[in-house]
Chains A and B, each alone.
Chain A
Amino acid sequence: MSVAVQGATGKGSRERDQRPGPLDRLKRSYAKHWYAYAMIAPVVLVLGVLVLYPLVEGVWLTLTDANSLNTARTIGVNKIPASYDFVGFHNYADILWGPGSYDRFWSHFVWTIAWTGICVSLHYTLGLGLALLLNKKLRGRAAYRMLLILPWAVPTFVTVFSWRLMLSDGGVVNSALSALHLPQPGWLTDPLAQKAAAILVNTWAGVPFMMISLLGGLQSIPAELYEAAEMDGATRWQQFRHVTLPGLRTVSSTVVLLGVIWTFNQFNVIFLLFGTGAPDAQLLVTWAYRLGFGQIPRDYAQSAAYGVILLSILIVFTAFYRRWLARNEQANG
């Protein structure tokens, strides 16, 4: 509240001669801000206590050598205090260029970037293709739609297990491939095939969301635009290029950003498909989890450091993406 008042007076003196009715504005903005702060208070409180505080604590842990052997533990009535030490940026240095950093970090980094790029492209193109088909007047369209959103309707923690059964060595996918006399990759065994399997499963699970969002976008493009284009003698492709794609720009930019964030942070698919195996197919996020909770002793400090690095990558990406969008917007008028 006091902030509101200060802010308002501070501005008021400068704005007084620029805009009409300064006193009025001042009063109203004071009233407005009062309510605004009251209204955002619950969320600010939650963010502060549940997000900011742990985040600070997490960042602090990355500067220590905390692991499961030296953190505080409560053994019945006995409390053993934490005994970890401040080590500065050692964890970051160790992750980024310490011994074996290629195996531990960079290989996962490259794979995470490739995974995100490939998955989101597949999600988007397949989703758009299906959305275009569903946007046609076809008999049974509603039924197709129901069927196609099934991978979204059933939680991934269920469907990933089904894929694990299907992709196992004697599973149905390889049986089918063998019946067709095609090579049968070790989907869950061979490092390259593991990655292909992970992308396959994640694509399967992620397409419906894109499809439905893009379908909504397609349906909101006014029919008049297509009529006008047809009158101008535009071909199907030209209509798609110059009416459909621009019409989808807002939806696309949002769903692609979301897709990137979710895919980059994807946990369930890798964790449930490979369990404790497949060190090569681990994304940065599952790798960080494994450092923190999948091994004994647990390396809390490095796990948290991976988390901080991941978040930084995402924030930088988002900032660039938004800037790029804004520039694009301007360029396209």
Chain B
Amino acid sequence: MSTTTERPAPAPTTAPAARPAKVRPRGESGPLARTLSHAALALAGLIALFPVAWILFVSLGPDKTDYLHPGQILDKLTLSNYQHVLADTDFFTWFGNAVLVSGITTVFGVMVAATTGYAVSRMKFPGHRPLMWSLLVTQMFPIAVLIVPMYTMLSELGLLDSYTGLILVYSTTTVPYCAWLLKGYFDTIPVEIDEAGRVDGLTPFGTFWRLVLPLARPGLAVAAFYSFLTYWAEVPFASTFMLSSDKYTLAVGLQTFVSEHDAQWNLMAATAVLIAIPSAAFFYLVQRHLVTGLTAGASKS
């Protein structure tokens, strides 16, 4: 179901963070401890950076076996791989497909899930617990549970190799996941707001739509970002269900460069860099929100 780690804690996580508490005021560490800390962080930073830097380096070598003798790359640095990928492959198509599929999945997931998140957060109704339980269990689904029946069903409906099919498959995880995440966010919005709405004579739905939803925009954004980042990088379903190269997402397209009998590692590396740049840029742009989403959903439980 999930790719490595691109999901936050869907459940409320921390103790109340009413005011960003000031941390560890005194007791600053001595110079030795500080140097050690710097050394540890620098080392960890280097390890974090290296694989990304390495693929950037390999992408500058023109031959497909350059990665086996990286020393030679320095003598023949070139951007020809990028030129080839951008001009002669379906890179932009794949990019567009990935944006399209994960974008629609995200919008659909957030929209469908919003009211449910609110209902689960505010109302105790018969069926509440089973629903929460199914939302949780769905997130545990290993891809192996659904991939076979999904495949046979999509095959019978003629939806293999179509965007719709992939979006439907992605919705199986994104909808419950967004509902769960949004429930966490709605929990942080004070109940007094709802009560004020009711005093003003609004129906529960009116309260949700006019008062709570506008306040929950950051939560919606976080759910959307996570959903987008997850499906942007989804591998198994896209690799299995998409057949024609003009419908590949980036995660599938990238694999085509390294088929067993004709592995073009140089082109793969260049494509990888071209994918990594916008992905990382987007991630860094929204990461502040993501982190708030992780730690904020909390004040109630």
Please report A residues at the B interface, Cβ cutoff 8 Å: 3-4, 7, 31-33, 35-40, 42-44, 46-47, 50-51, 54-55, 57-58, 61, 66, 71-74, 129-130, 133-138, 140, 144, 146-159, 161-163, 165-166, 168, 170-172, 175, 202, 204-206, 208-209, 212-213, 216-223, 226-227, 230, 247, 250-251, 254-255, 258, 261-262, 264-269, 271-272, 275-276, 284-285, 288-289, 292-293, 300, 303-304, 306-308, 310-311, 314-315, 318
Q: Digitize B26-53: 1 where CB-to-A-CB distance is under 8 Å, 0 elsewhere.
A: 1111000010011011101101110110
A304 to B135, CA, bound (A): 21
Q: Digitize B168-180: 1 where CB-to-A-CB distance is under 8 Å, 0 elsewhere.
A: 1101100110010
In the complex, chain B residues whose CB is within 8 Å of the CB of A133? 37, 40-41
Tally of B interface residues using CB under 8 Å: 120
Q: A39-B116, A148-B48, A171-B68 are in contact. List 7 more A-B contacts (CB 8 A).
A: A32-B123, A39-B115, A40-B119, A42-B112, A153-B283, A216-B295, A265-B141
Interface status of B251 (Cβ within 8 A of chain A):
yes
Once A38-B205, A250-B14 are accepted as A-B contacts, the answer to whether A265 and B22 lie under 8 Å apart by CB is no
B144 contact from A135, A221, A307, Cβ within 8 A: A307
Interface status of B74 (Cβ within 8 A of chain A):
no
Contact call B51/A58, Cβ cutoff below 8 A: no
Residues of B181-230 contacting chain A, CB below 8 A: 203-205, 208, 229
Contact call A318/B140, Cβ cutoff below 8 A: yes
Interface status of B13 (Cβ within 8 A of chain A):
yes
CB closest chain-A residue, reference B283: A153
A157 to B155, CA, bound (A): 26
Contact call B113/A43, Cβ cutoff below 8 A: yes
Interface status of B242 (Cβ within 8 A of chain A):
no
Interface status of B6 (Cβ within 8 A of chain A):
yes
CB distance from A266 to the nearest CB of B (A): 7
CB distance from A258 to the nearest CB of B (A): 6
In the complex, chain A residues whose CB is within 8 Å of the CB of B291? 212, 216
Q: Give me 28 A-to-B residue pairs in the complex whose CB atoms sit less than 8 angstroms apart, sorted by A's number.
A: A37-B125, A39-B205, A43-B116, A43-B135, A46-B112, A47-B134, A54-B172, A135-B23, A136-B34, A136-B37, A150-B49, A155-B279, A158-B279, A161-B269, A172-B54, A204-B51, A209-B5, A216-B295, A220-B16, A247-B15, A255-B9, A261-B2, A261-B139, A265-B1, A265-B143, A314-B140, A315-B137, A315-B140
Q: Digitize B258-278: 1 where CB-to-A-CB distance is under 8 Å, 0 elsewhere.
A: 101000010011001001100
The winner among B15, B40, B176 for most chain A CB atoms within 10 A is B15
Contact call A157/B233, Cβ cutoff below 8 A: yes
A73 to B21, CA, bound (A): 62
Once A39-B119, A55-B145, A271-B235 are accepted as A-B contacts, the answer to whether A266 and B4 lie under 8 Å apart by CB is yes
Contact call A223/B4, Cβ cutoff below 8 A: no
A55 contact from B38, B42, B146, Cβ within 8 A: B146
CB closest chain-A residue, reference B42: A144
A292 contact from B135, B147, B171, Cβ within 8 A: B147
Interface status of B138 (Cβ within 8 A of chain A):
yes
Would you call the interface of chain B mostly helix, strand, loop, or mixed? helix
CB closest chain-B residue, reference A292: B148
Once A54-B153, A135-B23, A171-B68 are accepted as A-B contacts, the answer to whether A216 and B294 lie under 8 Å apart by CB is yes
B295 contact from A171, A172, A217, Cβ within 8 A: A217
Contact call A303/B276, Cβ cutoff below 8 A: no
CB distance from B231 to the nearest CB of A (A): 11
B14 contact from A161, A251, A306, Cβ within 8 A: A251
Contact call A307/B145, Cβ cutoff below 8 A: yes
CB closest chain-A residue, reference B17: A220
In the complex, chain B residues whose CB is within 8 Å of the CB of A144? 41-42, 44-45
The winner among B142, B171, B280 for most chain A CB atoms within 10 A is B142
Once A153-B284, A156-B3, A212-B294 are accepted as A-B contacts, the answer to whether A267 and B236 lie under 8 Å apart by CB is yes
In the complex, chain A residues whose CB is within 8 Å of the CB of B168? 50
Q: Digitize B65-80: 1 where CB-to-A-CB distance is under 8 Å, 0 elsewhere.
A: 0011110000000000
Contact call A204/B48, Cβ cutoff below 8 A: yes
Please report B residues at the A interface, Cβ cutoff 8 Å: 1-17, 20-29, 34, 37-38, 40-42, 44-45, 47-49, 51-52, 54-55, 58, 67-70, 112-113, 115-116, 118-120, 123, 125-128, 131, 134-153, 155-156, 158, 168-169, 171-172, 175-176, 179, 203-205, 208, 229, 232-233, 235-236, 240, 250-251, 254-255, 258, 260, 265, 268-269, 272, 275-276, 279-280, 283-284, 287, 291, 294-295
Once A32-B204, A40-B119, A58-B145 are accepted as A-B contacts, the answer to whether A136 and B3 lie under 8 Å apart by CB is no
A55 to B131, CA, bound (A): 16
Contact call A135/B24, Cβ cutoff below 8 A: yes
In the complex, chain A residues whose CB is within 8 Å of the CB of B175? 43, 46-47, 50
In the complex, chain B residues whose CB is within 8 Å of the CB of A151? 48, 51-52
